[in-house]
Chains A and B, each alone.
Chain A
Amino acid sequence: MACFVVSAAVGVGTAVARHVVKRHENKLELEGKVQLPEKFGSDVKWSKKLGYLELVLFAGSFLLAIEHILHGEVIPYPPFLAKATPDQFGEMLHEMGTVGVAMFAVLFVAWAVGVFVVDYFKFKKRTAKAKLTEASVK
């Protein structure tokens, strides 16, 4: 019915958050306050990580929107969702709260796992390189 709307709405929120984070990162860069990555997870910028979350949410919602359009559940005139009528509104909200939220949760977990794996490998590579440099200096 409208399960993809939840992910699309969170995608809009993520886009705003990414824009704010990007501005903050650019500001730090211009002020010369950018430090070399030291801690775990600092190899990839947060704006890039949020960009991937945005992509996951919008891409999934886009393909599901196509399916809903072909099923006649999304219509090209207001209220745009076929089930958004007073008698079916509760049913639609229930589906958004169950299926829609579950879809978003799974996408979020998949993104978090992906970010953790990338951070882990980047951190491992960096520490190995630092140890090698230290050993060659000695």
Chain B
Amino acid sequence: MYFLTTLVCAIIAGVLWFFYRDRKALHLDVLTITYGAATLMWLIDCIFSAADGEPFLSFNDPKDGWIALASFVGGIFFWLVLSFILNNNKKDEVK
């Protein structure tokens, strides 16, 4: 379930990045890469699960919804923290 969540988030972030590509301070590339990387990692996890005979996508675990929500919030948190750091990093300009 979290694989699908991050996939949808990566697509939405990618579309936003395309439309707001001139607004560099938003760092939407970071958000897209964050969700995209997690999607690829969970895709591999799903493939290995399927190879072991388990279902490719599972919706049975009651924890799945919370994990999907935590993944979404975690991605946003990671993006906000990194954007704040990148926007306030004046070291290169000084050099």
- Residues from chain B with a CB closer than 8 A to the CB of A128 are none
Number of interface residues of B (CB under 8 A): 26
**Pair B33/A64 contact, Cβ less than 8 Å:** no
Q: For chains A and B in complex, what number of residue pairs have CB atoms within 8 angstroms? A: 78
Smallest CB-CB separation from A64: which chain B residue? Answer: B41
Smallest CB-CB separation from B37: which chain A residue? Answer: A60
Alpha-carbon separation in the docked complex, A7 to B44 (Å)? 13
Within the complex, the shortest CB–CB distance from B65 to chain A, in Å, comes to 11
Instruction: Name the interface size band of chain A.
Output: 20 to 34
Q: 8 Å CB contacts to A: which residues of B72-95?
A: 74-75, 78, 82, 95
Known interface pairs A63-B75, A103-B40, A106-B40. Does A70 touch B45 (Cβ–Cβ under 8 Å)? no
**Main DSSP-derived SS at the B contact region:** helix
The 0/1 profile, CB within 8 Å of B marked 1, for residues 93-116 of chain A is 000001100110011001000000
Residue from B34, B43, B67 in contact with A59 in the complex, judged by beta carbons closer than 8 Å: B34
Alpha-carbon separation in the docked complex, A7 to B75 (Å)? 17
- Residues from chain A with a CB closer than 8 A to the CB of B43 are 106
Q: A-side interface residues toward B, CB under 8 Å?
A: 3-4, 7, 26, 52, 55-57, 59-64, 66-67, 70-71, 98-99, 102-103, 106-107, 110
21 A-B residue contacts at CB 8 Å?
A26-B95, A55-B82, A56-B36, A59-B34, A60-B34, A60-B37, A62-B34, A62-B78, A63-B38, A63-B71, A63-B74, A66-B74, A70-B63, A98-B48, A99-B44, A102-B44, A103-B41, A106-B40, A106-B43, A107-B40, A110-B37
